[in-house]
Every structure is written in C-alpha cells, then in structure tokens.
Amino acid sequence: MKVVVTGSLGNISKPLTEELVQKGHSVMVISSKAERQKDIESIGAKAAIGTIEDADFLSETFKGADVVYVMETLASDSFFDQNVDVVAGITKIGNNYKQAIQQSGVKRVVHLSSIGAHSDKGTGLIAMHYNVENILKQLPNDVSIKFMRPVGFYTTMFPFIQTIKTKNVIVSNYGGDEKEPWVSPLDIAATIAEEIEKPFDGREIHYIASDEVSPNEVAKILGEAIGKPDLKWLVIPDEQFLDGLLAAGMNPQTAKGFVEINVSKFSGVMYEDYYRNRPKLMGKVKLTDFAKEFATAFSKG
C-alpha cells in the first residue's frame, strides 16, 4: 500500500514509518524540514517537504495514497510563545486535513487524537482534539476514519527531571494512589501500523495504553531507577501549579489548559470514556521499561 505519514521523524512517526517500510509498504513522510530528507530516505521512505499548515500541499501529497496517517502539531516552542493560540492553530490544521482528504480522494484515514477527546468540556487543552475529531467527522461517509486515542505519554514525565533535581520531588496539581493509564510512543506506533493493515469500516475509536499505574507508583518506580528510592509525588494547589508554569514562561492559555488537564485526571472526567472502552490488550512497554530511559535522561540532565 501507499501510505502517507505526517509528523516527520517524531517519537511516533519514525517507528511507524520504519515498521511500515519493513512490511513492504511504500511510505511518504511529510516533514517541514528539508534537512530531514536524507534521514527519511535512509530508512526506506520518500520525503515530502512542506508544512501541514498548507492545505494545497497536503492535497497534492495525499493524492494516490491508500491510507493517510494524520496528526496535529505546532512548532516546539508554541507553548511558550505568548502570541500563539494553540487551540486555534490545531483546529486550523484539522480543517487543512479535512480539505486535503476531500480534494485528494483518500478514503482511509488514521487520525492521532487523544484520550479525553470524547468531550469538549472539562479536559483543558484536550478540547482541541475533540474539535479536530469532529471536523474530520464532517467528511463524506465513504471516508473511513480510525480515531486513535492514546493515553498519557510516558515522555511527558521528562519535565519531572527538573523538579526532582531542584526539589527532590515530583510536583503536580494532582496525584495519589488512583491508577491511571500511560503509553509509550513505540506502542502507539505499533498499534497504528497494525490498524493500517486491518480493514476500515466507517468511523472507529481505538484507545491505546501500555500500563496503568498511580502517581505514587510512578514516583516509586522512577525513584528506584534514578537511585532515589524515597522520591515522592507532591500535590500542590491548582493556583500554585499555574503560577509555576507562568513563571517558566508558558503561554497563559496553554498553562491554564495544562492545569485543567490535571484537574480532569483527578476528577475522572479525562478517563471516563477510556474505562468504558478500555483496550483489550495493553502495549509491551511498561513503566519499568520506560524508567530505564528516564534514568538515562536524568543522568544527562
């Protein structure tokens, strides 16, 4: 099959591309950076250099594809750019995908969404994924879409390194002993690769998770991995957590959105649909596996 992959060579798109190439598919990877072309070609894929903010470029690139994998992302510093409206930017990209899919004639789409995208209320920044899902649902019924909803990424734990080094604790505005789902980008890529090869039928939702552990268990496992067996997860008030994000220079809209995401985890709103539709199989990469990667990053940080 001819598959178009967005996301350049990111944490999901790179292993996804590698697996699809190994399975014999013809893969076109979209990247906004020309210098990535050689890296893309080195793993057996073709490169399409352009931006997902350009609907005409997307339309041309999607033409002739059997399946397109689409995900939304902004520049890496967007969360700290005071002039960026992250929700509006992601929504615009969603509209670009809708236009490109319709104009190119693609009939099978895999969309990287998120846990929490079942609702536009009470989940903070995740509402942008709800918006994009509903934009794509406006496509004609003959366009089949698989909405992939991964849970919290292990990689979002890397910012813990700073507070562990400076305060010897993990700090957030939620915590406790209630288990919550986490996922490895490698398991997301593997699941998407499988779904690309399976039949498409209308609109489907797939949750992706690797492990279920509580915040306190996260602190214990990460602490043991970095030689700090007494590491604790400290819960602070929402206002204090927000002040910390703003002090670090984060865009106010984004900072408030992150606070609300954590509030929704604590209240259960984030996970309510996940637990109604929990995946039958968990991914292979457990938190204890990721902890080794975390320890390496911690030693270098």
pLDDT at 44: 98
pLDDT score of 204 more than 90: yes
Q: How confident is the model at residue 75 (pLDDT cuts 50, 70, 90)?
A: confident
What is the reported pTM? Answer: 0.96
Q: How confident is the model at residue 104 (pLDDT cuts 50, 70, 90)?
A: very high
Give me the domains of the chain, ranges plus CATH numbers.
Answer: 2-153+181-209 (3.40.50.720)
Q: Which long-range contacts (CB under 8 A, 24 or more apart) does 228-235 make?
A: 228/164, 228/168, 231/164, 231/168, 231/169, 231/170, 232/169, 232/170, 233/169, 233/170, 233/172, 233/175, 234/167, 234/169, 234/170, 234/171, 234/172, 234/175, 235/172, 235/173, 235/174, 235/175, 235/176
Residues 20-50: tens digit of each pLDDT = 999 999 999 999 999 999 999 999 999 999 9
Residues 238-296: tens digit of each pLDDT = 999 999 999 999 999 999 999 999 999 988 899 999 999 999 999 999 999 999 999 99
Residues 162-187: tens digit of each pLDDT = 999 999 999 999 999 999 999 999 99
